[in-house]
């Protein structure tokens, strides 16, 4: 039985996917490069994934699979997973436009329907890790990753959470507590989701408890004058001073590596 937040988020994306895809199509459907975060910072500048040629890759909460398409263009064998059938249907259109086919599966990110150690890389850009409980997701990703495999995901920072409160634009004052971060229901008329976040200490303890070592935490900073289809220009000054989103880069301990301590 799906939990309340899984049902809520599925219903949101089934309802809002067409408007979301249209609103962000200029940024989402740029297949000339792979970018990260709301400001579309190029992978070639950040070097998050490295050489993906020949890897088995899961895009975890793929939406219309635009990032997965770009990773497939770099030589990976990509599978996209998403909770929304409407998002995945949009992915078929994106694949046609890009001339690339990616396998997709509709599934709840808290119950990944793949065998243990199926993938070399699991990644998402504001995907499942934003909309599913990390205390369930991180063990699931550890299960499906091979030893030595990379888990990389972009999401909002705790800074952005406490500066925005329940789905508002970020502001210059704290609007919610930092301690105790976990789940929040957003009830904007066009954005009704349950989203997740942890404190930095809780993230690190969760990774270590599931056999991951932290390789990097990339705090994304847009360039002056950057434009995003996801947030308004009034949020850019804040994002130049504080990290709006970031990328966790963690690796599953290999069979011959010492356990994390």
* Residue-range domains of the chain with CATH: 4-252 (3.40.50.150)
Please give the DSSP secondary-structure letter assigned to residue 234: G
**Whole-number pLDDT of residue 1:** 45
Phi, psi of 59 (to 5 degrees): -90, 115
Picking from 122, 180, 191, 199, the residue whose alpha carbon sits closest to that of residue 154 is: 122
Question: CA 114: distance to chain centroid?
Answer: 19
Low-confidence ranges of the chain (pLDDT < 70): 1-2, 255-261
b/e sequence 75-106, b meaning 16+ C-beta within 10 Å: ebbbbbbbbbebbbebbeebbeebebebebeb
Instruction: Kindly report the pTM of this predicted structure.
Output: 0.95
**Whole-number pLDDT of residue 261:** 36
**Whole-number pLDDT of residue 258:** 41
- The rounded distance, in Å, linking the Cα atoms of 13 and 260 is 37
183, β-bridge pairs: 196
């Amino acid at each position: 039985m799906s939990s309340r937040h899984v049902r809520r988020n599925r219903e949101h994306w089934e309802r809002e996917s067409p408007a979301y895809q249209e609103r962000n199509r200029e940024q989402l459907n740029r297949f000339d490069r792979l970018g990260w975060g709301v400001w579309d910072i190029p992978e070639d500048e950040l070097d998050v994934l490295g050489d993906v040629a020949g890897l088995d890759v899961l895009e975890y909460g793929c939406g219309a699979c635009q990032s997965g398409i770009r990773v497939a263009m770099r030589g990976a064998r990509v599978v996209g997973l998403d909770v929304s059938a409407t998002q995945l249907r949009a992915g078929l259109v994106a694949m046609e436009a890009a001339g690339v086919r990616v396998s997709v599966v509709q599934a709840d990110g808290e119950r990944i329907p793949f065998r243990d150690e199926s993938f070399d890389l699991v990644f998402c850009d504001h995907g499942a890790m934003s909309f599913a409980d990390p205390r369930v997701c991180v063990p699931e990703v550890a299960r499906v990753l091979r030893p030595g495999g990379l888990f990389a995901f972009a999401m909002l920072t705790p800074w952005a959470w406490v500066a925005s409160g329940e789905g508002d634009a970020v502001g210059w004052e704290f609007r919610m507590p930092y301690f105790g971060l976990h789940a929040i229901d957003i009830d904007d008329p066009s954005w009704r989701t349950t989203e997740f976040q942890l404190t930095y200490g809780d993230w690190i303890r969760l990774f270590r408890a599931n056999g991951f070592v932290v390789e990097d935490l990339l705090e994304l900073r847009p360039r002056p004058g950057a434009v995003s289809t996801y947030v308004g220009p009034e949020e850019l000054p804040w994002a130049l001073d504080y990290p709006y989103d970031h990328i966790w880069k963690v690796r599953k301990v290999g069979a011959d590596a010492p356990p994390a301590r």
